[in-house]
Amino acid sequence: MSIDHSLFIKYGLQNSPNEQQIEQWTSLVDTLILSGVSKEDAGARAAKQIFPDFNTMVYASEADDIEALLAAARNRGNNQRGR
Amino acid sequence: MAGSLTPDEIKLLDVLVKFVVPIGTFILGFIISRFTMSKKERKDYESELLETSRELITAQGEAFQEFAAAIHHYANKDEAPDLDDFFSISTKGELYFNHIRMACDAIISNKVDEDSIRNTIFPKVKEAVEKTLPDFYSTLIEIAEKENIKYSGELRRENYESIYTVYETHT
């Protein structure tokens, strides 16, 4: 998975970040880590500062996708029976 | 008096200080170095863990895509589904959970870095145990009944032992 897509999913963005934003985010994360902030926290804090659409979307997890697909598979049987 | 030593005792002490102590220190240092890592060794070890995590996560992601495609194909097929469609879901699903199991085996043998466990692998393990594994088996049973397919699969903990072990130890 590319870094822009990972950031897009992880920080709930509406648009994929561009190269400049990714660079800004990376350098801010490095600075925060050097100042003693934990990796996870540094990533989130930098994202909040750099990406204007931070946490504006919630993306489904793998499990949500599987759950929805399995439900569709079960419904297929029901729909056919209903026909 | 304990403080007064005989010439023999003094000689012995001399030998101890001259030979035994340096040799002992050398052996101790050697042993300690075997159980600790230098800065470079630690860095190499961490890179190795990261690389293993990355490989496991990538392979698991690919298995997920295939599994999702198989269910999607079945759910949206215009013609009546056949045995191949059913077994495609069943085998791709098995493969998907196998990859999660392999990641758990690697966690149990300490071959994965902590961040990858916490941020990427454990959330999948949790969802597999609490949601997708039971859902997968119950759906297969339901589809098999509807399509008149003989299917005797069932969710058995022993088939996914490492997944449950990681789930229980990290929850």
In single-letter form, the type of residue at position B58 comes to T
Domain assignments of chain A as residue spans, ordered by start: 3-82
- Within 13 Å, how many C-alpha atoms sit on residue B144's CB side? 16
For B73, counting Cβ atoms within 10 Å of its Cβ (0-12 exposed, 13-18 middle, 19+ buried), the class is middle
How many whole angstroms separate alpha carbon B50 and alpha carbon B57? Answer: 10
How many whole angstroms separate alpha carbon B54 and alpha carbon B135? Answer: 27
**Per-window interface: A 23-42 vs B, CB < 8 A:** 39-40
Q: What are the pLDDT digits (tens) for B79-120?
A: 888 899 999 999 999 999 999 999 999 999 999 999 889 888
pLDDT tens track, chain B, 171 positions? 456 778 888 888 888 888 888 888 888 888 877 777 788 888 888 889 989 988 998 899 889 989 988 998 898 888 888 899 999 999 999 999 999 999 999 999 999 999 889 888 999 999 999 999 999 999 999 999 988 999 999 999 999 999 999 999 988
Chain Cα centroid distance, residue B34: 25
- Given CB atoms, is A69 within the 8 Å cutoff of chain B? yes
- In this structure, chain A runs to a length of 83
Report residue B124 as tokens: 């999948």
Residues of A in contact with B81 (CB under 8 A): 76
